[in-house]
């Protein structure tokens, strides 16, 4: 028999120190149970609109099964450029300022790995998407969380940002609308943040994956559209959430040519290119699916209104998120930690939510509920949660 593999010898130090995602651990428990209503996974419940699927099928029929250019299909890059101009007033040249990636996940990783050196600090706002802190660390830099708070509807306050800046700060990772809080930043908030970035010569990684999912008439503004910001921003965006295309794995990064060139080097050696037929599907999504997105958005807004009303009525305070498909209620009235709340809710009522701790220590005291689930299911989940809260507080 071979001796067991020695992880102390074979697993790299910088990987050993990265914690596993709290969401993944939790969902291994969920998967071992039956009849659970899941408000856990951050994924649209819609199947990808038919015309997008049809574009992928058509691409396969036509035999588009080879590699594409490293930067992505030229036609897709033209379409991305037109889409960003039309929706957000951004101007990026398809030939040299846009890179198509395998989801926003890869685009973010490329941006971090292509720009950061050991000793650099990157500020990000917390509670935040689970991958930010580990991705910054895996790129060799130091993640610096800055807290956002429920009383500000989880906006990033400029005084908190200023307090996080040191001589080693190289970049700000900005993600609005925000997973898991549903917070948004509007033009005035962004202008104040942009001023700090210019003053301290910071790069901005702007993860705008939820840009289409905004409610109450809010217009998403990209920080790259503000004066002085285009030259210091990497816009990260993709099709996963807005077009219900999580499994297609298409994202993109837009930035000045030297940054795209640097990201391209990492991308071409690690990944080569995004999947050919998924890129064809993305062309259809970005060109022709405004109507489908509007219908999903309207439906999410109805579900959000329902869930927010129910949570507040059962004594778990939360603001009505103006973006994403997440609501982030305060569970401290139950006296439970976010982990105990989520575990006990799962065990006694078979409803899965994500403990706020999974989104950083600043997420403690909250849980994330995803409302990208049918209204019937949401109704049942809220009834069960209400019972759980009543029993816990009794
Ligand atoms: N960024 C944020 C804020 C997310 O919430 C997610 C997925 O949940 C991603 C990026 C990853 O997106 P993709 O599926 O495009 O890799």
Q: Tens digits of per-residue pLDDT, 44-74?
A: 999 999 999 999 999 999 999 999 999 999 9
Nearest to 206 by CA among 183, 230, 175: 175
Distance 210 CA to ligand 1 centre (A): 9
Residue-wise pLDDT tens digits, 125-157: 999 999 999 999 999 999 999 999 999 999 999
Ligand 1 pocket, residue 109 CB under 6 Å: no
Answer yes or no: are the C-beta atoms of 37 and 380 closer than 8 Å. yes
Which ligand 1 atom is at minimum distance from the Cα of 105? 16
Ligand 1 pocket, residue 323 CB under 6 Å: no
Complete DSSP assignment for 310-366: HHHHTT------SBSSEE--B-GGGT--HHHHHHHHHHHH-EE-EEGGGG-GGGTTB
Answer yes or no: are the C-beta atoms of 249 and 103 closer than 8 Å. yes
The domain limits of the chain are: 3-47+291-393, 50-288
Which ligand 1 atom is at minimum distance from the Cα of 238? 15
One fold for 3-47+291-393 and 50-288: no
In the three-class reduction of DSSP (H, G, I as helix; E, B as strand; rest coil), residue 230 is classed as: helix
* pLDDT value, residue 27: 80
The mean of the pLDDT values for the chain is 96
* pLDDT value, residue 30: 85
CATH architecture of 50-288: 3-Layer(aba) Sandwich (3.40)
Q: From CA 223, how far away is CA 203, in angstroms rounded?
A: 12
Residue 287 scores a pLDDT above 70: yes
Q: Report which protein residue has its CA nearest ligand 1's atom 7.
A: 42
Ligand 1 pocket, residue 104 CB under 6 Å: yes
Taking the CA atoms of 238, 243, 249 and 250 in sequence, report the sign of the dihedral they define: negative
Q: From CA 234, how far away is CA 188, in angstroms rounded?
A: 20
Distance 379 CA to ligand 1 centre (A): 27
In this prediction, residue 3 has a pLDDT band, given cuts at 50, 70 and 90, of confident
> What average pLDDT does range 383-391 have in this prediction?
97
Q: Whole-prediction pTM value?
A: 0.95
Distance 241 CA to ligand 1 centre (A): 8
Nearest to 350 by CA among 384, 392, 394: 384
The residues facing 143 across adjacent strands are: 122
Q: From CA 79, how far away is CA 92, in angstroms rounded?
A: 11
Answer yes or no: are the C-beta atoms of 205 and 178 closer than 8 Å. no
Complete DSSP assignment for 307-326: HHHHHHHTT------SBSSE
Distance 207 CA to ligand 1 centre (A): 8
Name the fold adopted by 3-47+291-393. Answer: 3.90.1150
Residue-wise pLDDT tens digits, 73-123: 999 999 999 999 999 999 999 999 999 999 999 999 999 999 999 999 999
Distance 236 CA to ligand 1 centre (A): 10
């Amino acid at each position: 028999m071979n001796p067991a593999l020695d992880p102390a010898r074979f697993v790299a130090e910088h990987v050993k120190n990265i914690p596993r995602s709290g969401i993944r651990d939790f969902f291994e428990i969920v998967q071992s149970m039956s009849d659970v209503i899941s408000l856990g996974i951050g994924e649209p419940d819609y199947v990808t609109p038919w015309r997008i699927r049809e574009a992928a099928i058509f691409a396969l029929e036509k035999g588009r099964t080879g590699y594409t250019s490293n930067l992505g299909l030229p036609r897709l890059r033209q379409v991305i450029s037109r889409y960003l101009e039309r929706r957000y007033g951004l101007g990026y040249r398809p030939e040299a300022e846009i890179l198509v990636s395998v989801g926003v996940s890869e685009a973010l990783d490329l941006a971090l790995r292509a720009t950061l050196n050991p000793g650099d600090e990157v500020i990000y706002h917390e509670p935040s998407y689970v991958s930010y802190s580990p991705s910054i660390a895996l790129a060799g830099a130091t993640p610096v969380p800055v807290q956002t708070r429920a009383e500000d509807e989880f906006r990033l306050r400029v005084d908190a940002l200023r307090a996080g800046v040191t001589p080693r700060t190289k970049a700000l990772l900005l993600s609005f609308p925000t997973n898991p809080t549903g917070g948004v930043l509007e033009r005035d908030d962004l202008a104040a943040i942009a001023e700090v970035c210019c003053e301290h010569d910071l790069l901005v990684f702007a993860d705008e994956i939820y840009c289409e999912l905004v409610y109450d008439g809010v217009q998403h503004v990209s920080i790259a559209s503000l004066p002085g910001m285009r030259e210091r921003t990497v816009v990260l965006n993709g099709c996963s959430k807005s077009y219900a295309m999580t499994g297609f794995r298409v994202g993109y990064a837009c930035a000045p040519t030297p940054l795209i060139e640097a990201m391209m080097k990492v991308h071409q050696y690690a990944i080569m290119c995004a999947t050919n037929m998924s890129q064809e599907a993305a062309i259809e999504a970005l060109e022709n699916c405004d109507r489908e997105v509007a219908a999903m958005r309207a439906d999410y807004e109805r579900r959000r209104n329902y869930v927010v009303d129910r949570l507040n009525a059962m004594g778990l305070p939360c603001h009505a998120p103006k973006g994403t498909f997440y609501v982030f209620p305060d569970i401290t009235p139950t006296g439970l930690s976010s982990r105990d709340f989520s575990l006990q809710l799962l065990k006694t009522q078979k409803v899965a939510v994500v403990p706020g701790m999974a989104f950083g220590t600043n997420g403690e005291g909250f849980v994330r509920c995803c409302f990208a689930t049918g209204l019937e299911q949401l109704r049942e989940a809220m009834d069960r949660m209400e019972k759980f809260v009543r029993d816990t507080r009794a």
